[in-house]
Amino acid sequence: MASGIFAILDDVATLLDDVAVYSKLAAKKTAGLLGDDLAVNAEKATGFKASRELPVIWAITKGSVVNKLIILPVAFLLSAYMPWLIVPILLLGGAYLSYEGAEKVLEWILPHKHHETPAAETTSDRSDLLDLEAHKIKGAIRTDFILSIEIIVITLGTVMEQSLGIRILVVSFIALIATVGVYGVVALLVRMDDAGLYLISKARQMSGAIAGLVKRVGQALIVSLPYIIRFLGVIGTVAMLLVGGGMYVHNIEWLHHALAFLPGILGELMFGILLGVVLVGIIQLFKRSRAESVPAD
């Protein structure tokens, strides 16, 4: 009886060792995507009133958990029974990210009038503000869904030759990092100003050089927050284009060879921009044709 228990414990220890090794390997392969995920979602989760920042991040985090609960079993089933379907799904996700990234770049270059003043500043009706908030949350969850697919598929590819138990544990662990880790950092970022105010208030209760240092750190946190948010907005947009283009460059062999003369990141970014601009043009033509086909009253 005792020997059986020790054998089970030994098997569990071996399994956990294997999971740790492959989780480390998968984390290395997905580190870039996790960074992109952080940048994109930090940009998506900002721009709200201070009192609504944490509730919005919590709503997006719950949506991200639901995304993982949907993607994980589907990914395991597809890898087992329809592995040929994974690449087309990735390409569709890449098209969406490229479209969204290119749309943001075009808005920077050719800003529309309704984007010049944030809606949160011009809208006084509470229901309109809540509608705007809900719209941004849905957009953030959609983007999280696409990035989660890429992260989970890459992780799954790392452990495809391993047993089902190791595959489930490793992929689930990376998926957990992609949710808890990413949104935990996002929550810390958007509350930097509160941390700064707290440090300034504490400095008033201190004396000497330490009080001045604490106060300067608090002021630096408050002053730097808007710049960090703008920077993350730019990085998040570039990340969407990189990930979107990368899905095509890494999964279409002739395209990979055609862009081999360029550094990897530059080729992915260029194709992401090109694909996104083409899709934006197609969508705009479609919207214009629909608007023209609607009879005037």
CA separation for the pair 217, 35 (Å, rounded)? 26
pLDDT recorded at residue 279: 93
pLDDT recorded at residue 122: 46
Higher pLDDT, 195 or 30: 195
Q: What is the dihedral of CA 220, 224, 228, 231, to 10 degrees?
A: -130
Model confidence pLDDT, tens digit, residues 146-170: 878 878 877 877 777 777 777 788 8
Helix (H, G, I), strand (E, B) or coil at 162: coil
pLDDT band at 281 (very low <50, low <70, confident <90, very high): very high
Question: For the chain, what percent of residues have pLDDT higher than 90?
Answer: 6
CA separation for the pair 296, 262 (Å, rounded)? 50
The rounded mean pLDDT for the chain is 78
Q: Do 193 and 50 contact (CB within 8 A), yes or no? A: yes
Give the helix ranges, DSSP H, for 123-263: 126-158, 164-176, 182-190, 192-204, 209-251, 253-258
Is pLDDT of 99 > 60? yes
pLDDT recorded at residue 192: 81
Using CA atoms, how far residue 269 sits from 101, 145, 186, 234, 265, in Å, is 10, 21, 24, 13, 6
pLDDT recorded at residue 44: 66
Using CA atoms, how far residue 43 sits from 13, 113, 168, 189, 234, in Å, is 41, 21, 31, 11, 8
Return the amino acid letter for 23: S
Q: Do 151 and 34 contact (CB within 8 A), yes or no? A: yes
User: In the chain, where are the structural domains located?
Assistant: 18-190+226-293
Higher pLDDT, 193 or 29: 193
Higher pLDDT, 296 or 76: 76
Model confidence pLDDT, tens digit, residues 100-137: 888 888 888 877 654 444 444 444 466 767 777 788 88
pLDDT band at 40 (very low <50, low <70, confident <90, very high): low
pTM of the entire predicted model: 0.69
